[in-house]
Amino acid sequence: MNVQATTQAPADLPCDLLAVGVGSDLAELTDLDARFGGKLLEACSDRNFKGAAGSTLALPSFGNIGAKTLLLVGVGDRSRRAVRNGIGKVGREARALSVTNLGVSFPATADAIVEGISAGNYVYDEYKPERDRAPGLSSLVICGSAPSAAASVRAGAQSWARDLVNQPPADLYPETLADAARELASIDGVECEVWDFERCRDEGCVGIIAVGRGSSKPGCMIRLSYRPPNAKAHVALVGKGVTFDAGGYSIKPTGGMQTMRCDMAGAATMLGVHKAVAELGLPVNVDTFVGAVENLVDGDAYKLSDILRYRNGVTVEIHNTDAEGRLVLADCLIEACKVEGVQHVVDAATLTGACVVAVGGDFTGLFTDDDALAADLGAASEACDEGLWRLPLHAPYKEMLKGEWSQIKNVGGRAAGATTAALFLQHFVTEGTSWAHLDVAGSAFHDKAGKRYAAGATGEMVRSLTTWIASLA
């Protein structure tokens, strides 16, 4: 997508579709209305368009302005959320109308426009019949100041992550996810190493081995580094890369299993961040670890009451093979904490249905004991307008994980399921390490299309985490 800024008045922009964000007082329409000889406000009134957030009105321009079609998008009180949702809607409408050449005038920063339009315009139509594939935007012209190049990089990484998640599990499995990571090594400063299944066994990655064992597609641990000159900070990222989660012997019902190709979204998020940080050349060392496996049923699959002995001494009794993500993340967290000089460890995972129940699709759940880190991540998510909500990492609930035959079980009870999952992970984080866990179970994948995103993967948190890392430099 070619992105440009212009000082031309919106009315003068030559384009297929001109999208204008309109507040409740319709102030943005004054100049345009003059070009329509007063007929524009009249049409708004006839069609009951009052600039309410979420409302739209598309009108042919009949040559009165440079654009062929005018799309008015209500942004109500012009709150940041309403404006961002409106921009997303423009991206989505442009795709629905097969618009390739879009002009935008919105009360938002140019970066927010680029990111929002890109996210809204995204669809995954790889497997649609040719006739149903609407073209994406080729040109975006923004009325106002120019966006930063970084906005396009962040938006590109978000779309890249969404593509990985949306791919069906027959195409995207541990080895092909590793291939995607290997390709990132073509970026300056990036190196990729993959521990295959045998190596994982030799290294004692018991979680990856236990869960991955039930699939004929071997699991692996993907390890990426990024080393810029003059690094000013150092972070490690960990992603859950369960390329399909059938639940194992604690098998999921069909409805719950249908969308479980999304279970590597944490991995896609972190790989997307790694890509963006490296492409931007940010002066921060980054190490990324992904545990990539499929959780299936097989004669050799792991079983209830199996006990795993982790390299840090923690023993884990399996009470539910569907609580597999934490087992795989544990291996990666152990590795991440070993990285010399690392200041923060952050993981992202579609970890619990409980988090979906708690905060729904508009928020990622945040768990951490580090208030400063919580504040910094919160600020980044605020700046990127991605929902992030802190939930309790309440230590007393560790009691619920106490094992009968081992140190801990891999599940707590029904209560506080997202918290007990986070507390489980904490057993594999070296004491004193600044660590945050992001549960993206609700935010990473939407069953239905919404205001900003088509149905499927969202790529939420790619921009926020990239922005957070930029803030460390």
Give the catalytic positions in this structure.
Answer: 252, 326
How far apart CA 287 and CA 160 sit, in angstroms, is 19
- Of the candidates 159, 138, 377, 117, the residue with the CA atom closest to the CA atom of residue 275: 159
Q: Does 411 bind ligand BES (CB under 6 A)?
A: yes
| Site track 226-255 with ligand BES (rule: CB under 6 A), x = hit | -------------------x----------
Decide which of Mn ion, ligand BES, Zn ion, none touches 109; Cβ closer than 5 to 8 Å per partner kind: none
Q: Does 245 bind Mn ion (CB under 5 A)?
A: yes
How far apart CA 439 and CA 456 sit, in angstroms, is 17
Phi first, then psi: what are they for 422, rounded to 5°? -65, -40
Stretch that binds ligand BES, among 79-87, 126-134, 135-143, 321-329 (CB under 6 A): 321-329
Rounded to the nearest 5 percent, the helix, strand and coil shares of the chain are 40, 25, 40
Footprint (CB under 6 A) of ligand BES, residues 414-433: 417
Q: Does 441 bind ligand BES (CB under 6 A)?
A: yes
Decide which of Mn ion, Zn ion, ligand BES, none touches 70; Cβ closer than 5 to 8 Å per partner kind: none
Footprint (CB under 5 A) of Zn ion, residues 322-341: 325
Tell me the residue number closest to Zn ion, measured at CB.
Answer: 245
Count of residues of this chain found to bind Mn ion when the rule CB under 5 A is applied: 3
What separation in angstroms does the CA of 382 have from each of 172, 184, 378, 440, 461? 32, 28, 6, 16, 11
Provide the 8-state DSSP code for 229: T
Q: Does 353 bind ligand BES (CB under 6 A)?
A: yes
Stretch that binds ligand BES, among 97-105, 333-341, 344-352, 447-455 (CB under 6 A): 344-352
Q: Does 111 bind Zn ion (CB under 5 A)?
A: no
Which residues share a beta bridge with 291? 221, 240
How many contiguous H segments (helices) and E segments (strands) does the chain have? 15, 19
Within 8 A by CB and 6+ apart from 166, the residues are 124, 126, 261, 456, 457
Q: Does 294 bind Zn ion (CB under 5 A)?
A: no
How far apart CA 40 and CA 336 sit, in angstroms, is 58
Q: Is the distance from CB of 252 to CB of 260 less than 8 angstroms?
A: yes
| Site track 225-264 with Zn ion (rule: CB under 5 A), x = hit | -----------------x--x-----------------x-
Among 33, 93, 317, 322, binds Mn ion (CB under 5 A): 322
How far apart CA 114 and CA 122 sit, in angstroms, is 12
Stretch that binds ligand BES, among 136-144, 197-205, 346-354, 423-431 (CB under 6 A): 346-354
Q: Which residues of the shown chain bind ligand BES in the complex (CB under 6 A)?
A: 245, 262-263, 320, 322-325, 350-354, 356, 411, 417, 441
